[in-house]
Amino acid sequence: MSRQGSTSGGTGAGAQRRATVVDVARLAGVSTATVSRVMNRNYPVAAATRERVESAMRELGYVVNAHARALAGASNRTVGIIVSELVDPFYAYIARGVEREASEGGRLCLICCHQGDPQRELAFIELMHERRADAVVLVGGSVDDRTYKAELARRARELDAGGSKLVLCGRPSLGDDVPTVGVEYDNEGGAFALTDHLITQGHERILYLGGPPGLSTAHDRLVGHRRALELRGLSRDPELEHPGPFSRTFGYRRMAELLRDGPSFTAVFGANDNVAAGAAQALEEAGVRIPQDMSLVGYDDVPVAQELRPRLTTVRIPLEEMGRQAVRVAIGGDDEDDWRAPTTGTLRLGTHIVVRDSVARAPRRG
C-alpha cells in the first residue's frame, strides 16, 4: 500500500489521509523540528538534509499551508480584525480588504465578531496580543464610555510595547498620547452632501431614520445632516429624527408606524442602506411610490442599494480600500516609494454621492 493510501476514520473506506509533518519527518528520517526549519527557511539546514525533506514532501504530496503554520505558532505574521457583525456588508467588505492585503503580505487574517459587546471586543484584543499579531484592526463606530476608552488605550499601549499596532478603522482617535494608527472616511461630509442634494431637489421636510444613539458613526452622520439643514436656513425638527439600529427591520417597522398617521415629510434619509431598504418595503406596502411620492436615500453603497427598485441614491464609502489601508498604515508595504509619505498616523479617505433613481423633485404642497 502506498504511503498516502492509509484511510482516515470518519471519511469512508478508501478515503486518503492527508500527509502530515510527522509523515514527512518519518520518511526523511529527521525530526519534525527539522521539517519545520526546512519549510520556514528560518534556520540553517544542511543541503543533503534539506533535499531529503523536500524529496519526502514531493513523494507524499505534502503541501505547505501558511495558515496552518501561523495557527501553530510557527510565525507571528498575523493580522487580527474585530468587527461587530459578519453578515453586515459594511463589515464584510472591510474584512475582505484586510484579508486580501494581509494575504498578499504572507500573513494570516483572523476575524473575530463581538456582536456589539465592548467587553468581548476588549477580550479579543487581548487574545490577539497573546498571539503576537502584527496588527489588530478595530472596525466601526465606538461607544462613548470613559471606562471602555481607558481600557482600549491600555491595550493599545501593550500592543505597541510588543511591536504591534492597534488600528482604528472608521472610528475616532483615542488621543494623541495613545499609540494607534487609523483609517477613517468623511462620514459627516457624506451626510452633509446627501442632505444638501435632497434640499436642492426642493425637500424641506426630511425624515432622518436610524443610527444607534451613542455610536460615533451614527453621531457623525446626524451632525452632517443637521449642518446641511442649518446652512440652507431650514429649522431642525426633532420629530423628524428617529434614531435606532442600523437594521432593515428597524427601517421597516418605524416607517410603517410613521405612515399610519400620514407622513409630514417628503424625503427619507436612511442612516444606512439597510435602514433605507426596510423603509422602502414599508413605503411599497403602503402604496407610496418612490420617488414620485417620496424620495429615499441611504448611506454606505452596499449591494442592496443597487438591488432595490428603484435603485437607491446613497453615499459610497470605499469599504474594501479601507480594509487594505488599515493593514498598510500598521505594517507598511514593500512597494512604498522614497518620495511618498510614510503610512503612519491617520489616513482619511473620501466619500461621494452616487445618484441613482430614488430621488425626485419634492411634490408641490396643496
pLDDT tens, position by position, 345-357: 789 999 999 999 9
> Average per-residue pLDDT in the chain?
86
Cα–Cα dist 357/60, whole Å: 59
Q: Where are the alpha helices (DSSP H) in 131-272?
A: 146-161, 187-200, 216-231, 248-260
If you count them, how many residues does the chain have?
366
One-letter amino acid of 280: A
The pairing of beta strand 295-297 with beta strand 241-242: unpaired
Model pLDDT, residue 279: 98
- At residue 37, the pLDDT reads 77
CA 104 to chain centre: 18
* Longest CA–CA separation in the chain, Å: 92
Per-residue pLDDT of 254-307, as tens digits, reads 999 999 988 899 999 999 999 999 999 999 999 999 999 999 999 999 999 999
pLDDT at position 143, please? 78
- The structure's pTM equals 0.73
Q: What is the pLDDT of residue 189?
A: 95
**Contact at 8 Å (CB) between 289 and 357?**
no
CA nearest 359: which of 221, 239, 196?
Answer: 196
Alpha-carbon Rg for the chain in angstroms:
26
**In terms of C-beta distances under 8 Å and separation of at least 24 residues, what long-range contacts does 99-107 make, across chains too?**
99/323, 100/320, 100/323, 100/324, 101/323, 101/324, 101/326, 101/327, 101/328, 102/327, 105/77, 105/327, 105/331, 105/333, 106/66, 106/77, 107/70, 107/77, 107/78, 107/79, 107/134
pLDDT for position 331? 87
**Which residues of the chain register pLDDT less than 50?**
1-15, 73-75, 334-344
Cell 465592548 locates to 118
pLDDT score recorded for residue 259: 95
Residue 357 burial by Cβ neighbours in a 10 Å radius (0-12, 13-18, 19+):
middle
| pLDDT at res. 239 | 95
